[in-house]
Amino acid sequence: EADIYQTPRYLVIGTGKKITLECSQTMGHDKMYWYQQDPGMELHLIHYSYGVNSTEKGDLSSESTVSRIRTEHFPLTLESARPSHTSQYLCASSEGRNTIYFGEGSWLTVV
Amino acid sequence: QKEVEQDPGPLSVPEGAIVSLNCTYSNSAFQYFMWYRQYSRKGPELLMYTYSSGNKEDGRFTAQVDKSSKYISLFIRDSQPSDSATYLCAMSASTGGFKTIFGAGTRLFVKA
């Protein structure tokens, strides 16, 4: 069973606010990811990391930023939230190419 | 054309039916094949993982890979209402980085 934790699970915030979605994993995985998924829609990779101090943008352009200062921690930040950022954000990690483990997701609503 | 194609459904079956879920792909370099189950408002959960071609069985679930046809399947025997979820296929190659490509997911409803 995967040990990857996301907080908050649900968040409603006003336009223009800064938010950070937290993600932690206890499996010691080098690779971590952030996906964005609208209800009933596909997963879109927005950020990934090979390891500490390594971050890359994914396939879907996103105004969010990420950091990887510790192996187990991969937070995602939106400096100024907009209604278009309303979505589910899924954090994941993996050791190899075959088994990606997901967190429960963070549901963000920007009003 | 997408690298991975998956019928979005929805697929509705009666309890106890055998369910067949499928994906096709275009990249012959894919060698790792996964199936995930995602319940509403939850993250995807890894169900099955298969390397290269062949079959793999785990309880009521069987994963099949046919690399010659670029076609993978997930079979669910004796389906239960608790199997109602979205099923995503995923695959990756052994070269060219670690990128995993996900299908769009098939919504399955198992009626009691």
Residues A19 and A77 sit within 8 Å (Cβ to Cβ): yes
Q: If you ran DSSP here, which 8-state letter would residue B77 be given?
A: S
- Residue B104, min C-alpha distance to chain A (Å): 5
| Beta bridge mates, B14 | B111
What is the full per-residue pLDDT of chain B (112 aa) written as tens digits? 788 999 888 999 999 999 999 999 999 989 999 999 999 989 999 999 998 888 999 999 999 999 999 999 999 999 999 999 999 999 988 765 567 889 999 999 999 9
Residues of chain B with Cβ-Cβ distance to A92 below 8 Å are 43
Name the residue facing B43 among A42, A90, A96 (closest C-beta).
A90
Q: Are B104 and A42 within 8 A, CB to CB?
A: yes
Cα distances from A3 to residues A28, A104, B38, B45, in angstroms, run 10, 10, 17, 12
Euclidean distance between CA atoms B60 and B44, whole angstroms: 19
Residue A87 forms contact with B (CB below 8 Å): no
Name the residue facing A98 among B32, B43, B102 (closest C-beta).
B32
The confidence score (pLDDT) of residue A98 equals 67
Q: If you ran DSSP here, which 8-state letter would residue A85 be given?
A: G
Residue A92 forms contact with B (CB below 8 Å): yes
Euclidean distance between CA atoms B81 and A95, whole angstroms: 33
Q: Are B104 and A41 within 8 A, CB to CB?
A: yes
Residues of chain B with Cβ-Cβ distance to A6 below 8 Å are 43
Q: What is the pLDDT of residues A11-46, one digit of tens each?
A: 999 999 999 999 999 999 999 999 999 988 889 999
Cα distances from B67 to residues A65, B26, B50, in angstroms, run 38, 10, 12
Residue A57 forms contact with B (CB below 8 Å): no
Q: Are A101 and B93 within 8 A, CB to CB?
A: no
Cα distances from B77 to residues B16, B20, B58, in angstroms, run 7, 9, 11
Euclidean distance between CA atoms A16 and B58, whole angstroms: 48
Euclidean distance between CA atoms B39 and B91, whole angstroms: 20
Q: What is the pLDDT of residues A60-109, one digit of tens each?
A: 888 999 999 999 999 999 999 999 999 999 999 998 766 889 999 999 99
- Residue B45, min C-alpha distance to chain A (Å): 7
For the record, the structure tokens of A64 come out as 């969010």
